[in-house]
């Protein structure tokens, strides 16, 4: 059936049907002529008539076939192809097309039309995408001809500059009447290469604008440059921020350079000096270029690195640290440090404050205060020296008397007398030596100090006069008190000042009145925790008026009568205690009298020893 259907639908089948019809018609014609004309005439006529009929019929058949099966389908194909070319809707011929050559041609044309339509759709979509990209890309795009006229431009460019097609680029960009010197677009036309550059101009509102641009050649099918594309990125805000940043950097660099204290930028690990300000030279004597790349430890003695390195790197505050300048002269500084993030790396920012002159001034003041204290202690010192002198005088008088009378002095008595003289000479020598040591100008260095030992030295001066005045001294000293970091001579002055105030307060309250020994007493107590040492000196005097208790450590503040005090003793004591990293406070006791409490941080090495000792004890 399928083969029959194909055959019937083919041109051959159609021609067969037509020829069968023609033969049938001729047979009818011949039959009619034979009946009308018998004989030869009839045969001749029939032959001529048959020939004419066959020829005419063949012409008709051929024309009919050409019109019906070739001309009309070709016309429809031509119309369809024309509509395809014009991008108009066209007839779908695949359904009406047969399986003959014309049908196959129709199907090929239809397939070609579908392919063209698909490609056209793809091209239209890509064109739309590229057009949208061209218009919405966040940069300025122009296409210029050889005369530097604008052929095309995108929306961003139009919003920035308000151009018109045909305008000269230099007129739109910069408001110029002539082209720019060293024009990169012209370079692109000359060498066919891309060029990058930065320009400045004004936008449509007259505001200054900066942009970075790059040109690219547009070529025809022969490779000739027919136009140039210029793509620009608005960097106005970026450049403004960069200029502000540069101004800020210059400003902070000026501040950094002119800070009155030396400032060092160090590598946190190696302590190498990476930068410093101009204040380094007047303090240390080194120019900036002389210290860059050098170690910060160049300003310390060789053995100090181990002691200070960890504390500086941790950001701890270091007070009164001994350093040296370019000439090797000692100087004292306070050191502050902190880790700071630079753009590329982390650094250690170290600031030093030269306190050498301040300490020298304080030292002079402290020395003056010592002399004042020695003056106030003159009576006490006289009492202290009077006892050994009296013993020596008695012993020497006894022996002189024996020698003058010619009496015999027994050997054991002589030895005893000479021993007492020798012992009291030593005692007087120690008292005088102690006074000389106390009056000597102390050094500025801090050292490891035993608080109990310094307290004993301070009270030794007063031991005899306290007895004479009937003042009892109660000692409550802790055993194995940890060491602190201080200057022993200065710390002794603190204790002496507080003891003098305690003595004077008791004298002011009780005078020469005979009272119970408990009523005239000074208690001295020391104790310690894991990281602090405590000293407390209490008296049974009048106490301190609550209205002035917060002022007693201020310079030149005194409650004594005119001529009886300078008002510097407690102020200097406060400064010395703070110098050791400690604190000093005063309060009144409920039972009467005042107490001075001092706290001192335990020396770091001592803390480590204490910690190790606890671990060993715990482990055992």
Residue 558 and residue 61: Cα distance in Å, rounded?
Answer: 148
Q: Which two tokens stand for residue 37?
A: 């004309």
User: Residue 86: what pLDDT?
Assistant: 66
Summarize pLDDT for 487-505 with one digit per residue, the tens: 887 888 888 888 888 888 8
Tell me how far the alpha carbon of residue 617 is from its chain's centroid. 45
> Shortest CA distance to 369 belongs to which of 467, 501, 471, 484?
501
- Of 364-378, 380-394, 506-520, which gets the smallest average pLDDT? 364-378
- Asked: is 259-354 a CATH 3.30.450.20 domain? The reply is yes
Does the pLDDT value for residue 561 go beyond 60?
no
Summarize pLDDT for 230-260 with one digit per residue, the tens: 888 888 888 888 888 888 888 888 888 888 8
Query: 137-240, what's its fold?
Result: Beta-Lactamase (3.30.450)
User: Residue 533: what pLDDT?
Assistant: 93
User: Residue 538: what pLDDT?
Assistant: 94
- Of 108-117, 138-147, 325-334, which gets the smallest average pLDDT? 108-117
Tell me how far the alpha carbon of residue 72 is from its chain's centroid. 86
Confidence of residue 349 (pLDDT cuts 50, 70, 90): very high
CB atoms within 10 A of CB 297: 16
Summarize pLDDT for 127-183 with one digit per residue, the tens: 777 777 777 777 888 898 998 898 888 888 888 888 888 888 888 877 788 888 888
Summarize pLDDT for 503-533 with one digit per residue, the tens: 888 888 887 677 776 788 999 999 998 889 9
Summarize pLDDT for 400-411 with one digit per residue, the tens: 776 777 767 677
> Shortest CA distance to 370 belongs to which of 482, 468, 275, 497?
497
Residue 286 and residue 333: Cα distance in Å, rounded?
Answer: 16
Q: What is the DSSP string of 38-52?
A: -SHHHHHHHHHHHHH
Does the pLDDT value for residue 1 go beyond 50?
no
Residue 516 and residue 442: Cα distance in Å, rounded?
Answer: 40
Does the pLDDT value for residue 585 go beyond 60?
yes
Q: Which residues contact residue 113 at a Cβ distance below 8 angstroms, ignoring those fewer than 6 apart?
A: 80, 81, 84, 90
Tell me how far the alpha carbon of residue 472 is from its chain's centroid. 62
Q: Which two tokens stand for residue 282?
A: 């007047």
User: Residue 568: what pLDDT?
Assistant: 57
- Asked: is 361-608 a CATH 3.90.1520.10 domain? The reply is no
Query: So where are the chain's domains?
Result: 1-131, 137-240, 259-354, 361-608
Does the pLDDT value for residue 70 go beyond 60?
yes
User: Residue 601: what pLDDT?
Assistant: 92
- Of 255-264, 304-313, 443-452, 460-469, which gets the smallest average pLDDT? 460-469
User: Residue 467: what pLDDT?
Assistant: 79
Q: Which two tokens stand for residue 475?
A: 């000692």
Confidence of residue 366 (pLDDT cuts 50, 70, 90): low
User: Residue 594: what pLDDT?
Assistant: 92
User: Residue 239: what pLDDT?
Assistant: 85
Residue 118 and residue 112: Cα distance in Å, rounded?
Answer: 10
427-433 mean pLDDT? 67
Partners of residue 307 on adjacent β-strands: none
Residue 516's SS3 state is coil
User: Residue 290: what pLDDT?
Assistant: 92
Same fold, 137-240 and 361-608: no
User: Residue 90: what pLDDT?
Assistant: 59
Summarize pLDDT for 292-323 with one digit per residue, the tens: 999 999 999 888 888 888 888 888 888 888 89
The gap between the terminal CA atoms of the chain, to the nearest Å, is 114
Element holding 226 (H helix, E strand): strand 225-234
Q: Which two tokens stand for residue 486?
A: 């201080």
The pTM of the full predicted model, rounded to 2 decimals, is 0.47
Confidence of residue 111 (pLDDT cuts 50, 70, 90): confident
> In 86-193, which ranges are continuous DSSP H helix?
101-136, 155-161, 169-174, 184-191
> In 377-449, which ranges are continuous DSSP H helix?
378-405, 411-439
Partners of residue 449 on adjacent β-strands: 484
CB atoms within 10 A of CB 280: 21
């Amino acid at each position: 059936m399928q083969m029959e259907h194909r055959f019937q639908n083919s041109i051959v089948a159609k021609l067969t049907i037509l020829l069968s019809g023609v033969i049938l018609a001729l047979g009818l014609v011949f039959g009619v002529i034979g009946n009308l004309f018998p004989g030869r005439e009839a045969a001749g006529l029939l032959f001529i008539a048959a020939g004419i009929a066959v020829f005419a019929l063949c012409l008709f058949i051929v024309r009919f076939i050409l019109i019906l099966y070739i001309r009309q389908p070709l016309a429809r194909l031509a119309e369809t192809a024309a509509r395809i070319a014009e991008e108009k809707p066209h007839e779908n011929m695949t359904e009406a097309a047969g399986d003959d050559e014309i049908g196959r041609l129709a199907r090929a044309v239809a397939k070609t039309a579908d392919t063209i339509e698909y490609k056209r759709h793809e091209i239209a979509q890509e064109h739309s995408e590229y057009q949208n990209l061209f218009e919405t890309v966040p940069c300025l795009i122009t296409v210029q001809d050889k005369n530097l006229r604008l052929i095309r431009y995108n929306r961003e460019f139009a919003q920035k500059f308000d151009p018109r097609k045909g305008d000269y680029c230099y007129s739109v960009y910069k408001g110029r009447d002539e082209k720019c010197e060293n024009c990169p677009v012209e370079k692109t036309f000359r060498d066919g290469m891309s060029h990058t550059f930065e320009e400045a101009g004004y936008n449509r509102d007259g505001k200054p604008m900066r942009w970075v641009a790059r040109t690219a050649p547009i070529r025809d099918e022969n490779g000739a440059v027919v136009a140039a594309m210029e793509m620009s990125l608005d960097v106005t805000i970026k450049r403004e921020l960069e200029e502000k940043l540069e101004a800020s950097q210059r400003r902070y660099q000026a501040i950094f350079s002119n800070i009155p204290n030396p400032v060092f930028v160090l590598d946190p690990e190696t302590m190498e000096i990476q930068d410093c300000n101009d204040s380094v030279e007047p303090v240390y004597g080194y120019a900036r270029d002389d210290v860059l790349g050098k170690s910060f430890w160049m300003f310390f003695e060789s053995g100090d690195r181990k002691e200070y390195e960890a504390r500086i790197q941790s950001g701890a505050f270091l007070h009164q640290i001994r350093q040296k300048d370019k000439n090797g002269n000692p100087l004292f500084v306070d050191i502050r440090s902190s880790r700071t993030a630079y753009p590329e790396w982390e650094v250690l920012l170290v600031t030093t404050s030269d306190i050498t002159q301040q300490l020298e001034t304080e030292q002079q003041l402290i020395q003056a205060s010592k002399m004042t204290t020695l003056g106030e202690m003159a009576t006490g010192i006289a009492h202290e020296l009077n006892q050994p002198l009296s013993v020596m005088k008695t012993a020497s008088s006894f022996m002189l008397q024996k020698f003058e009378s010619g009496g015999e002095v027994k050997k054991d008595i002589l030895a005893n007398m000479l021993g007492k003289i020798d012992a009291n000479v030593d005692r007087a020598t120690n008292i005088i030596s102690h006074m000389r040591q106390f009056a000597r100008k102390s050094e500025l260095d801090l050292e490891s100090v035993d608080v109990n030992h310094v307290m004993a030295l301070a009270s030794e001066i007063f031991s005899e006069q306290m007895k004479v005045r009937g003042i009892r001294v109660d000692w409550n000293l802790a055993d194995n008190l940890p060491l602190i970091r201080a200057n022993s001579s200065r710390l002794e002055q603190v204790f002496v000042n507080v003891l003098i105030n305690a003595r004077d307060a008791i004298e002011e309250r009780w005078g020469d009145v005979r009272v119970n020994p408990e009523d005239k007493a000074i208690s001295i107590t020391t104790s310690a925790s894991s990281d602090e040492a405590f000293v407390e000196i209490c008296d049974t005097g009048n106490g301190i008026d609550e209205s002035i208790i917060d002022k007693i450590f201020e310079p030149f503040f005194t409650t004594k009568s005119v001529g009886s005090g300078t008002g510097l003793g407690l102020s200097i004591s406060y400064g010395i205690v703070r110098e050791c990293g400690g604190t000093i406070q005063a309060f009144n006791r409920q039972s009467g009298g005042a107490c001075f409490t001092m706290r001192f941080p335990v020396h770091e090495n001592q803390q480590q020893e204490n910690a190790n000792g606890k671990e060993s004890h715990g482990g055992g």
